[in-house]
Amino acid sequence: MATLTQHYKPNAMHIVFVRKRDDLIEKLMPRRCMVVSVGLILAGIGIPALMVFKLLPVSFFLGFVGFALMAVGGVLALFYCGEL
């Protein structure tokens, strides 16, 4: 018994709509490198914020780690944006 194949001819308007939608989604999605750099900046802000709310102990080392994360994230963000 042979299988029956059906041919599908897509509508031209459907193709145009799908291409426009895919272009919009691709344009709105952030780049992976920017997600990492902004995540480092937010982690660097989060550590001192947790120290202010007394969820982390206040120490020089944790403050330095927060500062270092913000500095590295900021430099990466500037580098990936093309400013440096």
Q: Tokens 């913000």 map to which residue? A: 70
Identify the pLDDT of residue 1. 64
C-beta separation of 34 from 73 below 8 A: no
d(Cα 62, Cα 51) in Å, to the nearest integer? Answer: 9
C-beta separation of 73 from 46 below 8 A: no
Rounded to whole angstroms, what are the CA distances from 78 to 1, 48, 59, 75? 64, 22, 29, 5
d(Cα 74, Cα 84) in Å, to the nearest integer? Answer: 11
Identify the pLDDT of residue 50. 94
DSSP type of residue 47 = H
pLDDT tens per residue across all 84 residues of the chain? 667 777 666 666 667 777 888 888 888 888 888 899 999 999 999 999 999 999 999 999 999 999 999 999 999 999 888 776
Identify the pLDDT of residue 27. 86
